[in-house]
Amino acid sequence: MIVRMEKYVYQMFILGLGNLDKALALGLGGVIFFTKDIKTESQLTKEIGKIKEKALIPPFISIDQEGGRVERTENLRSKRLSAKYAFEKGVIESQSEEIAKELKDWGFNLNFAPCIDVNTNPNNPII
């Protein structure tokens, strides 16, 4: 019973890269990639493949890829527009589709980019 409960607990966590072998073997829910983890496309796809191979259950392979200041794959390509500026230039839909296709091709299945940010405070530079 303890092992079963441990498996369910591990499924609730998404960890950064590091020594993941034990956690993946125990049912880790997912892994998140940051800019420092992504050097080249081949390194990225190999790392994702190793994670999937070692996982007890299919894990979330996640990233926070929004465009603008939050561009985790900036080591692979030039930065995109922030969502605000992409919207203003009329390219938000095509840019979002491009990001989604790229992430899927590399093996990601979860993107933490927001689906909506409400800009209600003009003094807040984040949104």
Residue-wise pLDDT tens digits, 70-102? 778 877 877 787 888 888 999 989 999 999 999
CB 103 within 8 A of CB 60: no
- pLDDT tops 60 at residue 2: no
Cβ-proximal residues to 118 (8 Å cutoff; 6+ apart), any chain: 127
98 assigned to some structural domain: yes
91 assigned to some structural domain: yes
89 assigned to some structural domain: yes
96 assigned to some structural domain: yes
29 assigned to some structural domain: yes
Cβ-proximal residues to 40 (8 Å cutoff; 6+ apart), any chain: 75, 76
For residues 11 and 77, give the distance between their C-alpha atoms in angstroms, rounded to a whole number: 32
Instruction: Give bridge partners of residue 110 from the DSSP assignment.
Output: 62
For residues 39 and 94, give the distance between their C-alpha atoms in angstroms, rounded to a whole number: 25
126 assigned to some structural domain: no
CA atoms within 13 A on the CB side of 54: 18
125 assigned to some structural domain: no
Q: Whole domain around residue 50: which residue ranges? A: 2-111
Total count of domains within the chain:
1
Digit-coded pLDDT (tens) for 24-66: 999 999 999 999 999 999 999 999 999 999 999 999 999 998 7
Q: pTM (2 decimals)?
A: 0.83
15 assigned to some structural domain: yes
